[in-house]
Amino acid sequence: MEPPQLTATETSLILLVGVFNQYASGDSDKKTLSKDEFGKLVKEEFPLIFQGKDAADIMKRLDKNKDNLIDINEFMHMISDLVGKSYKMMCDLEPKK
Interface positions with a copy of itself (CB under 8 A): 4-17, 19-21, 31, 44-49, 72-73, 76-77, 79-80, 82-84, 86-87, 90-91
Query: Is the distance from CB of 55 to CB of 39 less than 8 angstroms?
Result: yes
In this structure, what DSSP letter does residue 88 have? H
CA distance 33 to 30: 8
Other C-beta atoms lying within 10 Å of the C-beta of residue 33: 27
The distance of closest approach from Cβ of residue 1 to a copy of itself in the complex, given in angstroms and rounded to an integer, is 14
State which residue, 12 or 68, has the beta carbon closest to a copy of itself.
12
Cα angle 19-67-40, degrees, rounded to a multiple of 5: 30
The distance of closest approach from Cβ of residue 60 to a copy of itself in the complex, given in angstroms and rounded to an integer, is 20
The distance of closest approach from Cβ of residue 80 to a copy of itself in the complex, given in angstroms and rounded to an integer, is 4
State which residue, 68 or 86, has the beta carbon closest to a copy of itself.
86
